[in-house]
Amino acid sequence: METEDKGSCTSETEVNVHNTRSVLLTEFVNWAQKKNNLIRLLQDSLCEDGRICLEFSIGKDENFTLLCPSEYPNYEDHFFVEATPPLQFWCNALNEFILDADVLLSLDVILEKAASLYCRKKSNSSPCLSSSESDPEADLGEFMVVDGDSEEGEEWEHVLCQRKKRWRMKEAELRAITKQPKTSDMFDGHVKDHPEQVFSNSAASGILMNDLIAIMESKHETGINAEPIDDNIYRWAVFLSSFDSQGKLNQDLQQLHQKYGYDYIQLQLDFTMDLYPFYPPVVKVVRPRLQGSMMLRIANMDLLKLSHWNPTRNMKSVLQEIKAYLGTWARIDLSSNRNDLHYFPQGAYIEMENYLLWLAWVSEIPSRAHQRSPEAECETSLPHARESERKKCQQKSLFPAGTGYSSPSQEGWNVNAYMSAQREKDKQIEYVLQKILQELRKSSDSSREHFGTDDTCTSFIVPSCSSRSSVTEVTEGCIANHYKTMHDSNHVAAAPKKQCRTGLQSDSDVTEYKQSTPSEWNSGVCSQQNGKSPIDPTEDLFTVLEASTLVPFLESKLQVDSFLEICRHTEVYRCVVDIISEIASRPKLVRLLWSLPDQVQSIYTLVTRLEEKAKAILVQITKTSANGNIPSATSAKQKNTSSTLKINNKSFCVVSADVETPEEERLARDFYQMSHTVSTALGNQGLLATYDKDQSPSTSQQSPRPQSPAAGMMDCDQALTATYKEALKDLQFLSCDIEVEGASAHHFSTHFKKALPPNSAQVIRIAQEMAALSTSLPLDLGSAIFVRTDDAKCTLLRALIIGPEGTPYSGGCFQFDIFFPPQYPKSPPLVHFCTTGRGRVRFNPNLYSSGRVCLSLLDTFMGLQGEHWHETSTLLQVLVSIQSLILVPEPYFNEPGYEILLGTAKGKRCSQSYNEDVLLHTVVHAMVAQLKKPSSGFEDVIRTHFWIKKKRILTEIKAHLKTHNNTKSLQRAYESLCAELNKLTPVSSKTTEETALLDDPV
């Protein structure tokens, strides 16, 4: 059967090829009958990749080949032309016409264009043989040789043909060595979510070649020249010269020429194979050394960021914009010895700077030097990009997103595509972080204490988007072979007086340049002879790191809200831990972890916060998992999670070698250990004035307690907010006994009893969730969320959400029972709304009287793709979604179809009536009933909440009494509430004093 299928498939392919050939040959015959014999068909054949190969002769004795798509005339690939050397420029012009076309071209259109271009090429020596009536001068610039001399032009065409052959051979060699796939798997399975590979490999590389040739041909007009390094079309050496003669940069270049013998700025461009032109190149400055952070700012230009990259631009225009940018803002550091071609042939920048540049490019995070540059915004920002973002922000939904009632016309967010792209980005970030770590460790080697050992090789690697192993490295030293060609009398820059060595030693990870330099240079004598003292390499490294993207990048990674987010990017965060630990081990670099100028939060501050999160998850893991089993039920009714276990802090840093520790737990311990390492290093440098080596940084550097709200000049709202937070912050996340029997039994008790104990992976995930909740629950005077968990029943939880002010739910206490099913986190948690007046009240279109919670994130209603539960979603997201998307000021419009009434008189009347009912139910069931019989586990929360806010709540209800249609019912509810509030006793004497000072009698 399989053989028959293959035979059938082969037969079908042959039929398709035969049909395509017939169509092409018929079109050619029809076209040729209307024309003269300028173009003649010699033969047709089938290429290995399935394309139809048509060989033509044109003129008297010149030939060319047209590669035709196998699906013609309904094709997705492109035609492509190959020709002999004398026709190379004609070939380039024809290919540009084909690739730039906005519509599918037919064979006769391509042949007509070919004949037209050929006649114009020969117009200076012979009459046009074509019957085309178009202007013979219209497209002359598309292919005519720039030099103007026919003999020199023919010679240039021949040289160019030979080069293109070498470029293609090099490309084939690179593909064979790296075994790189033809396209990146970055967006595998998500075709619509990334730029499609619309060109074949030959066409894609042909675009790059055409761009390069265009730059070469216009070097005299633009002052820009380029050449592939070691014939690698995906890596260019670019030379910029002929800047504004009145500009300061040109003056610097003249001085540079007098001192070091060259007067150009050299760049290196690295293109990602098979993704250009849809992926921007990496651009780095090779030499000379520019003042300030210009090298990093070039890499961070908006036009070079993927989010702003325009694939329709050619590289000539991109380089012209970079040149103009340099001419406006750049100055050369003429005092740097690294501008010397003899002693630093590999470039004026150290290897670390190149990897930091790469990090800035991959992460799209600007460097510190760029951030503090006053002209940075006007230099690199794109006005049209900002306008586009502004317009996006103006597009608002008619109702809260995520409530399950999104319009079918709205575009969903593809979570899987986003996660796939994020994983790809993580691979590149991890790779460059590993390189940065290697450079840090190399620089700590005692053998590099003396300045002069040249490890500044600027070999720059762009990894494959799909595999770390598929890396091709071509060192810049190889461009020496091209200097003679590029810097003859017809080129823009003179050749350097001394050439660099090309002998490089490399392994799979590191390529280190080794140069036989004079012993005087190795000992730093050379610098002294130039009137300068030797450079301290570590101080030099500190300066580079401080101005780079590294610190802002670390800040961004350490500002996560939960440890769960860290565990989603394990490899990246392991590199972050290693880099910070390495910096902490270097006394001259440890200052990077302390407060830096213009820094909002230091690395140390962020690390100590993450230490608390790591500690929380380790406590939860210890409590919920004992040798793979769930701990037995505790006897205490309610207890604080941070006090349930007497664990030595040092035990968090130790992992038994005999126990296979989950990766998430190991990473948490590594973060905890890193925090202590950083604190110790800063303490040893005297940067922590109150540092105590016997205490953790979180306890030795605690933030001061807030002042009493009665103190200072705060207004009443600020003071009441401070009092509210201070009184309730320790009650937000606690552990208690959640009953599975009796009147207060958890709604999902039956589910819990039937379910098997959670496996180790689920225990770890739940521990991560609990750790995130313990530090991230919202708490404000206007609204707050409280959670109760059970150490013995980790899959059961309870939540209490205080209704947000400004809504009909304001001040009410709404209980939700939560259960993690056995399929969690593949499936969402089960959530039941308990405050329903014994099943009689529906508080919201999304909160049913049966207790059902309608929310896309819970998969209880169809919403947009990005609104549904994903295994990376969290319980915190669920709780915040209920608080902010369901408990809203006008819940009436959450009902499907009712959004069309928004802004109408009828909609306003209906919404007001709906709110009046909700308000009445809130007072009766979420206030009075909660005061009479508080939700189990939240007794202290409810009493404290109403004691502090009682006068504020009563004032708000009295205001509603003036406009409420059902005044009698609301008045009775108000009186009942007053009676219950009068029964409350002070939670503490301090709270009593503060609220008495803040509130006026009602």
> Three-state SS string across 889-901, please?
CCHHHHCCCHHHH
CA distance 384 to 307: 12
pLDDT given at position 235: 94
Token readout for 258 is 């007098």
Q: Is 737 a residue whose pLDDT tops 80? A: yes
Q: What are phi and psi of 68, to 5 degrees?
A: -110, 140
CA distance 620 to 564: 13
Token readout for 834 is 């308990």
Count H helices, E strands: the chain?
33, 16
State what percent of residues in the chain have pLDDT above 70: 69
Short-list 863, 857, 873, 855, CA closest to 419: 873
Mean pLDDT of all residues in 388-407:
43
H/E stretch holding 108: helix 107-121
- The DSSP call for residue 731 is G
* C-alpha to C-alpha distances, 406 to 412, 860, 862, 876, 897, nearest whole angstrom: 9, 14, 8, 22, 10
- 821 in helix, strand or coil? coil
Token readout for 32 is 């040729």
Alpha helix segments (H runs only) across 777-900: 875-881
- 516 in helix, strand or coil? coil
User: Which residues have CB under 8 Å from 612's CB, separation 6+?
Assistant: 698, 775
Short-list 814, 819, 854, CA closest to 834: 814
CA distance 977 to 460: 72
Q: Which amino acid is at 997?
A: L
Q: Give one DSSP letter per residue of 54-104, joined into a string.
A: EEEEETTTEEEEEEE-TTTTS-SS--EEEE-GGGHHHHHHHHHHHHH-SSP
* C-alpha to C-alpha distances, 796 to 733, 787, 792, 823, nearest whole angstrom: 14, 11, 9, 14
Mean pLDDT of all residues in 781-798:
93
Residue 96: which region, alpha, beta or left (left: phi > 0; alpha: psi -120 to 50)?
A: alpha
Catalytic annotation, pick one of 53, 68, 854, 910 = 854
Mean pLDDT of all residues in 16-30:
84
CA distance 208 to 219: 17
Please give the residue that has the higher pLDDT: either 237 or 718: 237
State what percent of residues in the chain have pLDDT above 90: 32
Other CB atoms within 10 A of residue 613 CB: 25
What is the tens place of the pLDDT at every residue in 313-323?
899 999 999 99
* Dihedral of alpha carbons 923, 928, 931, 937, sign: negative
Rg (CA), the chain: 36
Q: Which of 358-367, 483-492, 661-670 has the lowest mean pLDDT?
A: 483-492
H/E stretch holding 778: none
Please give the residue that has the higher pLDDT: either 694 or 163: 163
Cβ-contact 675, 695 below 8 angstroms? no
Token readout for 437 is 């770590």
Q: Is 986 a residue whose pLDDT tops 70? A: yes
Angle at 295 between CA 291 and CA 299, to 5 degrees: 155
Please give the residue that has the higher pLDDT: either 141 or 326: 326
* C-alpha to C-alpha distances, 187 to 363, 422, 467, 668, 869, nearest whole angstrom: 18, 10, 14, 31, 21
834 labelled catalytic? no
CA distance 506 to 484: 26
Please give the residue that has the higher pLDDT: either 470 or 821: 821
| 277 preceded by a cis bond (ω within 30 of 0) | yes
What is the tens place of the pLDDT at every residue in 112-122?
888 888 877 65
Give the E-state strand segments of 803-896 in sequence order: 813-819, 830-833
Question: pLDDT category, 481, cuts 50, 70, 90?
Answer: very low
Beta bridge partners of 511: 506
Question: pLDDT category, 380, cuts 50, 70, 90?
Answer: very low
Short-list 515, 367, 354, CA closest to 435: 354
CA distance 92 to 608: 60
Mean pLDDT of all residues in 739-767:
89
pLDDT given at position 63: 87
Q: Which of 530-539, 569-578, 991-1000 has the lowest mean pLDDT?
A: 991-1000
Cβ-contact 361, 556 below 8 angstroms? no
Angle at 980 between CA 978 and CA 984, to 5 degrees: 110
Residue 292: which region, alpha, beta or left (left: phi > 0; alpha: psi -120 to 50)?
A: left
CA distance 52 to 72: 9
CA distance 326 to 262: 17
H/E stretch holding 287: strand 282-287
pLDDT given at position 864: 56
| pTM of the model as a whole | 0.55
**CA torsion, points 380, 295, 303, 274, in degrees to nearest 10?**
-170
CA distance 468 to 474: 16
Other CB atoms within 10 A of residue 874 CB: 22
What is the tens place of the pLDDT at every residue in 565-622?
888 888 999 999 999 999 999 998 999 999 998 888 999 999 998 888 888 778 777 7
Cβ-contact 108, 30 below 8 angstroms? yes
Cβ-contact 460, 282 below 8 angstroms? yes
* Dihedral of alpha carbons 658, 659, 662, 666, sign: negative
Cβ-contact 689, 679 below 8 angstroms? no
- 511 in helix, strand or coil? strand
- The DSSP call for residue 223 is S
**CA torsion, points 154, 157, 158, 164, in degrees to nearest 10?**
180
CA distance 608 to 46: 66
* Dihedral of alpha carbons 733, 738, 744, 749, sign: positive
Short-list 405, 559, 400, 410, CA closest to 883: 400
Burial class (CB in 10 A: 0-12, 13-18, 19+), 883: buried
* C-alpha to C-alpha distances, 669 to 628, 648, 649, 770, nearest whole angstrom: 18, 13, 10, 17
User: Which residues have CB under 8 Å from 210's CB, separation 6+?
Assistant: 92, 95, 96
Q: Which of 172-186, 194-208, 696-710, 852-866 has the lowest mean pLDDT?
A: 696-710
CA atoms within 13 A on the CB side of 752: 20
Other CB atoms within 10 A of residue 261 CB: 15
Other CB atoms within 10 A of residue 928 CB: 20
CA distance 267 to 282: 10
What is the tens place of the pLDDT at every residue in 508-532?
333 333 333 323 333 333 444 344 4
* Dihedral of alpha carbons 535, 677, 572, 870, sign: negative
CA atoms within 13 A on the CB side of 649: 15
Mean of pLDDT over the chain: 75
Token readout for 873 is 């979603």
